[in-house]
Chain A
């Protein structure tokens, strides 16, 4: 160290004594540090817009090309689960916003409370998603593997709020009497288009002249997009819940304060972004041509 540098050290120590301990060297104030964090988080979210944007673009093109198939595929999703989950996710955004609010006010216990509530709501969302995915696997509409269209009838999705709540805690009301669906015994014809479709990969079951070999493939494309988009959305939620657990722990330990709570605010931005993705996924995937 040169003598000149050594001389400046006491002065720096002096500066340190006056600013917030969480202020890092390259920022002038907590204000600037927070602004930079917000901007950086938005930069990351722009890459996320592009990430999901590619899939939304693919969806737009294929929906335009194969609208009938997309309408058919969409109509076998459970509108009850979809609507319920949308409400749950919006509620989780509210609790997340309130967690940020209490962090800004400097309240430690309420921050932890609302972070845990957000985790709970996010977990309910994922639990419902798990039920929906299980149904789709059993109905052979998962696009990789033994995809079949028109799909086999199965003890289906909930038809009212009561069934929905019963199924949520892990009980399938209609499962016992009907048993596992034997493919080919009953076909769920969802819309007028479904009758045209052959079994995918099971040739000869539908007279050749009425079979449209492309149709089931187009429905399969819908389910590729359905699983890719909701799957990546669910992955983002799992990551988000992990982050929230860390934040809840750190908040409990008293890491954050009225002046310093950027991590909570930025994770909030992430959580709300994931909510926005779902706000678009819900009508695009669940609500195609429901009026048929």
Chain B
């Protein structure tokens, strides 16, 4: 597989999308969505990060081995944060008996 060269126009489109995402995330922060403020912030940040990884970092055009590496990195991060938070989030469910 020879090196894939991404068109310049794609870079400009991604740049525009990232700026729009930034505007959206600031805008969403000023609207009271209750518990969903953080969800909105993380979803937008996740989309922005995915765009950077897939296009700026060329992962969309990389080998399957590279894709596997990238996926594994984030999967371990989610495992670490996810399992830790199952502990912290569920502590309030218990009533403490002195």
Contacts and interface: CB of A to CB of B under 8 A. Distances in A.
A94 B53 contact: no
Contacts of B57: 268-269, 272-273
Contacts of B80: 50, 53, 57
Contact of A283 (B19, B45, B89): B45
Contacts of B31: 291
Nearest to A47: B73
A68 interface: no
A85 to B, nearest CB: 10
B59 to A, nearest CB: 9
Contact of A87 (B19, B49, B55, B73): B19
B52 A43 contact: no
Majority secondary structure of chain A interface residues (helix, strand, loop or mixed): helix
Contact of A83 (B14, B26, B49): B26
Contacts of B11: 94, 97-98, 101
Nearest to B62: A38
Nearest to A42: B69
Nearest to A53: B77
A83 B20 CA distance: 12
The bracket for how many chain B residues form the interface is: 35 or more
Interface in B26-56: 26, 29-32, 37, 41-42, 44-45, 48-49, 52-53, 55-56
Contacts of B58: 265
A232 B46 CA distance: 21
Contact of A101 (B8, B44, B77): B8
Contacts, number: 123
Contacts of B63: 35
A265 B3 CA distance: 12
Interface in A42-99: 42-43, 45-46, 49-50, 53, 56-57, 60-61, 64-65, 79, 83, 86-87, 90-91, 93-94, 96-98
Interface string B69-81: 1101110110011
A104 B74 CA distance: 28
B81 A60 contact: yes
Contacts of A290: 29-30
B8 A49 contact: no
Given A31-B2, A279-B45, A79 B26 contact: yes
B30 A38 contact: no
A65 B88 contact: yes
A282 interface: yes
Contacts of A283: 25, 29, 41-42, 44-45
Contact of B88 (A43, A61, A101, A279): A61
A259 to B, nearest CB: 9
A35 B61 CA distance: 12
B94 interface: no
A83 B26 CA distance: 8
Contacts of A225: none
A34 interface: yes
Given A57-B81, A280-B42, 12 more contacts: A38-B62, A39-B69, A46-B76, A49-B76, A49-B77, A83-B22, A87-B19, A276-B49, A276-B53, A282-B22, A283-B42, A283-B45
23 contacts: A31-B1, A31-B2, A31-B3, A39-B69, A53-B77, A61-B88, A64-B88, A83-B22, A87-B22, A90-B22, A93-B52, A96-B56, A98-B11, A101-B11, A104-B5, A265-B58, A269-B57, A272-B52, A282-B22, A282-B25, A283-B25, A284-B41, A290-B29
